[in-house]
Chain A
Amino acid sequence: MQGSENRPRRAQADGDARRDEARPTATPRYGAGDSAGTAPIVIDNLTKQFGSVRAVSGLSFTVEPGRITGFLGPNGAGKSTTLRVLLGLAGATAGSATFGGVAYAELDQPQRRVGAVLEPAFHPGRTGRDHLRVQAITAGATDDRVDEMLQLVGLADAGNRRIGGYSLGMRQRLALAGALLGDPDYLILDEPANGLDPEGIRWLRGFLRNFAGHGRVVLMSSHLLNEVEATVDDVIVIGHGRLIRQAPMSELAAGTSARVRVRDPKAAGAVLDQLNATWTLQQDAAGPYLVVAGAELATIGLRLFEAGIPVLELAAQVVDLESEFFALISEQDGGPRPPSGSDAPTLTGARA
């Protein structure tokens, strides 16, 4: 995976473009077709302008097969716009977004190559099963496949009910079933966790893991990092239509931090500043606590003890992606970040 430079791998992409003619058939796989040679998704210097608003600006990144890639950014960062250009629903002002060099519109029977789960939109008067049967014709899927997919997403019993009576979670599941009808190599999901209950999210996580495990490409967007942190392998963070960071999840999570709970966070903060540590003040059910990066646990404990500050809790914070995520975005904004969610940081360390 590339670092922040992200020059798209054009040569490889073009080489893979015509792989359809000579697909090896020996590779075992749970669906039709071969995925060993699935080409990466390549976003190349993509710009999308709506009137005077530039939603996406010179964006470049690649999405590798065999991995689940999280596409992150706050609402309005340009995630959906990027996905819509990739799927041919919106035109690019400049640059390109392709599946290994092939634009969506040029794919033959695109539903067999790319499954897309966008904001769920259905005719409410149609049954879930009939909705899939409409899509099945162009996807080349049989009615048996339709029933199989309903079963897969847990809608077998609701299939003959009208979508108007479906919950948001059921609509998300139905959209996923539709995306999978053609047994695609690429799965693109725009905020798939919206409306899913915790059980549904856990199920989706397992499903995507299995899907990507077969050498296929998963790109899922979210505005909440902690929603996808347990799911994704790679992270692409954008803000204001620009790439902020592309990194493996492990790298993003590598900067392990400490959780420090004290009675007087201000005083503790002053001590931590002397340590050259970066800290943020956060809040949970038990009250405020500090998340400290850039200092060993032992050092933090020792210095706070020396300063006479009672430490109520001191623990390694293994992954604190939410604050990492916000730090990345606020870095780009060059200012304080807006609060978002219940555990959003309320105060930033002086040396952030």
Chain B
Amino acid sequence: MTTVLASEARKITTTRGWIIMICITAGVSLVFSAIFALVGLIGPDEGNVFTHPQFIAAIYTGNNQAARVVAIIAGALMMGQEFRYKTLSSSYLAVPNRTKVVGGKAIVTFGYGLAFGLVATVAGFVVAAVFVLIKNGSLALDHRGTWQALLLNIVAIALWAMIGFGFGILIKNMLASVLIAVGFAYIIEPIINVIFALQHWTVPANLMPSSATSTLLGVDATSAIGAAASGGAGWPAWAGLLVLLGWAVIPAVVGIITTVRQDVA
């Protein structure tokens, strides 16, 4: 299994795609965290919001909804590229146990996703640090909630890469899987969330990945509508983690059972 992991990791590092994706993640994370911070500058709040741990955590994790889209694309590309360039033959010739190949790829994808999460979170931290310095606030590192937000932001983004990985297995066309993954994250899921919010269906709303991400982070970094949908439910962080894990694992498992067993064209 070690060789499978090493081989899959080398597949990532030997193409330029990962550098581009990491740079994009850093860029969008800086922008999105900065937007959250700027809201603090123009906000009507009395006193200094940059001393509120909850607000600082929102800056740290404000990049999540942007970074996770990059992560979902990167995840979808993991299998998508193999389908696109017909390199699965080589992969299966090297390791005939296909579950092992795809399982190894899943583990590497999670690690790859952690890298995206780390880059996004560091970017968020840098933005927060700049504003804290300027506004004489606090990084709130003495708060448990801050560390939860920092660490779980990394984990959440990695799990979004896994969601993309599942899409990439299920949908054999690389471009289609990427478009569907992004469309799901940016269009379909918010629409469903609006419907759930209007119907006051908090349980199904909490079962959607973006709400689960908010629950996991303990910070409302999602859209106002998403926040409205999940706001009152008050699920614990671990429940959000479980839901997100389900979204990360179930499509991949379905993919292994269905498409992975098929003959390779």
Question: B-contacting residues of A (Cβ < 8 Å)?
Answer: 84, 87-91, 104-105, 107, 110-111, 114, 116, 118-119, 121-127, 130-131, 133-135, 137-140, 178
25 example contacts (A-B, Cβ-Cβ < 8 A) are as follows A84-B263, A87-B93, A88-B92, A90-B263, A105-B96, A107-B96, A111-B93, A111-B94, A114-B93, A118-B89, A119-B86, A121-B86, A121-B87, A122-B85, A124-B85, A125-B15, A125-B17, A126-B14, A131-B14, A134-B14, A135-B94, A138-B4, A138-B7, A140-B3, A178-B90
Determine the chain A residues whose CB is within 8 A of the CB of B90 once the complex forms: 121, 135, 178
Q: How many residue-residue contacts, CB under 8 A, span A and B?
A: 70
Complex contact B264–A84 (CB within 8 A): yes
Determine the chain B residues whose CB is within 8 A of the CB of A111 once the complex forms: 93-94
Q: Out of B7, B10, B85, B97, name the residue touching A121 (CB < 8 Å).
A: B85
Interface SS of chain B: helix, strand, loop or mixed? helix
CA distance A130 to B10 in the complex (A): 8
Q: Out of B6, B15, B89, B92, name the residue touching A126 (CB < 8 Å).
A: B15
Determine the chain B residues whose CB is within 8 A of the CB of A88 once the complex forms: 92-93, 96
CA distance A42 to B95 in the complex (A): 22
Q: Give B15's nearest chain A residue, CB to CB.
A: A125
Q: Out of A90, A91, A125, A137, name the residue touching B16 (CB < 8 Å).
A: A125
Interface-central residue, A84, A104, A123, by most chain B CB under 10 Å: A123
CA distance A105 to B87 in the complex (A): 18
CA distance A87 to B91 in the complex (A): 12
CA distance A89 to B90 in the complex (A): 10
Complex contact B94–A133 (CB within 8 A): no
Type the 1/0 row for B54-87, where 1 means its CB is closer than 8 Å to any CB of A: 0000000000000000000000000001000111
Determine the chain A residues whose CB is within 8 A of the CB of B97 once the complex forms: 105
Q: Out of A119, A123, A130, A137, name the residue touching B6 (CB < 8 Å).
A: A137
Q: Out of A89, A124, A137, A139, name the residue touching B92 (CB < 8 Å).
A: A89
Complex contact B264–A137 (CB within 8 A): no
Complex contact B3–A137 (CB within 8 A): yes
Question: A-contacting residues of B (Cβ < 8 Å)?
Answer: 3-4, 6-7, 10-11, 14-17, 81, 85-87, 89-90, 92-97, 263-264
Contact status of A89 and B15, CB under 8 A, knowing A122-B87, A123-B85: no
Complex contact B263–A89 (CB within 8 A): yes
Complex contact A138–B14 (CB within 8 A): no
CA distance A111 to B3 in the complex (A): 13
Determine the chain A residues whose CB is within 8 A of the CB of B17 once the complex forms: 125
Determine the chain B residues whose CB is within 8 A of the CB of A130 once the complex forms: 10, 14
CA distance A119 to B85 in the complex (A): 11
CA distance A189 to B96 in the complex (A): 18
CA distance A110 to B3 in the complex (A): 13
CA distance A340 to B86 in the complex (A): 29
Determine the chain A residues whose CB is within 8 A of the CB of B16 once the complex forms: 125
CA distance A119 to B88 in the complex (A): 12
Complex contact B93–A116 (CB within 8 A): yes
Distance from B265 Cβ to chain A, minimum over Cβ atoms (Å): 9
Contact status of A89 and B264, CB under 8 A, knowing A111-B94, A116-B93: yes
Q: Give B97's nearest chain A residue, CB to CB.
A: A105
The 4 closest A-B pairs by CB, nearest first: A121-B86, A90-B263, A130-B14, A105-B96
Q: Give A103's nearest chain B residue, CB to CB.
A: B96
Q: Give B7's nearest chain A residue, CB to CB.
A: A137
Contact status of A123 and B81, CB under 8 A, knowing A89-B264, A134-B14, A138-B4: yes
Determine the chain B residues whose CB is within 8 A of the CB of A87 once the complex forms: 93
CA distance A118 to B96 in the complex (A): 16
Q: Give A115's nearest chain B residue, CB to CB.
A: B93
Determine the chain B residues whose CB is within 8 A of the CB of A135 once the complex forms: 7, 90, 94
Complex contact B85–A138 (CB within 8 A): no
Determine the chain B residues whose CB is within 8 A of the CB of A123 once the complex forms: 11, 15, 81, 85, 87
CA distance A110 to B264 in the complex (A): 17
Determine the chain B residues whose CB is within 8 A of the CB of A121 once the complex forms: 85-87, 89-90
Determine the chain A residues whose CB is within 8 A of the CB of B89 once the complex forms: 89, 118, 121
Q: Give B261's nearest chain A residue, CB to CB.
A: A91
Q: Give B94's nearest chain A residue, CB to CB.
A: A138
CA distance A101 to B195 in the complex (A): 59
CA distance A124 to B81 in the complex (A): 10
Distance from A69 Cβ to chain B, minimum over Cβ atoms (Å): 20
Q: Give A114's nearest chain B residue, CB to CB.
A: B93
Determine the chain B residues whose CB is within 8 A of the CB of A107 once the complex forms: 96
Q: Give A91's nearest chain B residue, CB to CB.
A: B263
